[in-house]
Amino acid sequence: RVVCSGEALPEELKNRFLDVLDVPLHNLYGPTEAAVDVTHFDCRREDAGPVPIGRPIWNTSLYVLDPRGRPVPVGVAGELFLAGAGLARGYLRRPALTAERFPLDPFGPPGSRMYRTGDLARHRADGSVEYLGRTDDQVKIHGFRIELGEIETALGHLDGVGRAAVVVREDVPGERRLVGYVVPEAGADPAPDTEPMRAELARSLPEYMVPVLVVVDGLPVTPNGKLDRRALPAPAAAAATGYEPPAGETEELVAMVWASVLDAPRIGRHDDFFALGGH
């Protein structure tokens, strides 16, 4: 059997593994502060979508809570807290950090504590827990709080998507926008049309969470194997094909304003303001 832990397990990698090797694959999750691994999930080829971190092991409790410490409904993202016998006592000679990261557990026995992981997660309908990313990945754009991991998860559910990453780019000073990078899964169209993908995303996400999409061959990584977000390419400001210039004075004026706001070299009469990164 093979155990995966320490990094989120991409669905594409899970499927490739199970296609090649006839041995059990287990996805585990857990921080050092909770005796390393505290959840378990048996991976199966027929399970589609992001690989969950599973259910808690014995003597361990998982809570997914909102910013006020209240449990969130199934399917809603929140911060993951851990409780149980495996928790560390705290950080050596760092009482302030211990108090911050190990608050009292209001759901457990009197005097018990829980650990604030700093990870975003949500409960699935089947009772397992799905890891969404770090709370550090929460951003605010145009007054809306956005969880990048939630968008990445939604992208991962789309047909033909092998891997996905979402970042906030500021290619124009003062103009932040969401950009999603999609790696097609093996055997899928290597250059899919992104507009149907955005339309599908809009069925499950609000408009302000639907990113500009860029199809790439792979996601760049650092020497340590982590996603290198800084190496992701800037999206094209306008479609390279199907360009039709503005017709008439009004369209030319609107195109000029759009080009200025979006820092685009040209704007076609059929271009979508939101697809180009506008808000």
Domain 2-135 adopts which CATH fold?
Luciferase; domain 3 (2.30.38)
Q: What is the mean pLDDT of each run of 10 residues along the chain (279 residues)?
A: 91 92 96 93 92 96 96 94 96 95 96 95 95 81 81 89 90 79 89 90 90 92 83 65 74 87 72 67
Q: Phi and psi for 70 in degrees, rounded to 5?
A: -105, 140
Greatest CA span in the chain, whole angstroms? 73
Give the integer Cα–Cα distance in Å for 190 and 169. 24
Say which residues have a Cβ less than 8 Å from residue 138's Cβ, sequence separation at least 6. 120, 145, 146, 147, 148
Tell me the average pLDDT of the chain.
Answer: 88
* Per-residue confidence (pLDDT) for residue 222, from 0 to 100: 86
Would you tell me how many other CB atoms lie within 10 Å of the CB of residue 277?
22
Give the integer Cα–Cα distance in Å for 128 and 227. 26
Which tokens in the block code for residue 104?
């009292």
Looking only at the bridges linking them, the beta strands covering 78-84 and 60-65 are antiparallel
- Looking at domain 142-235, its CATH architecture is 2-Layer Sandwich (3.30)
Domain with CATH 3.30.300.30 in the chain: 142-235
Looking only at the bridges linking them, the beta strands covering 60-65 and 25-29 are unpaired
* Per-residue confidence (pLDDT) for residue 239, from 0 to 100: 40
Cβ–Cβ < 8 Å for 59, 21: no
Which tokens in the block code for residue 145?
């709080």
What is the value of pTM for the model shown?
A: 0.63
Domain with CATH 2.30.38.10 in the chain: 2-135
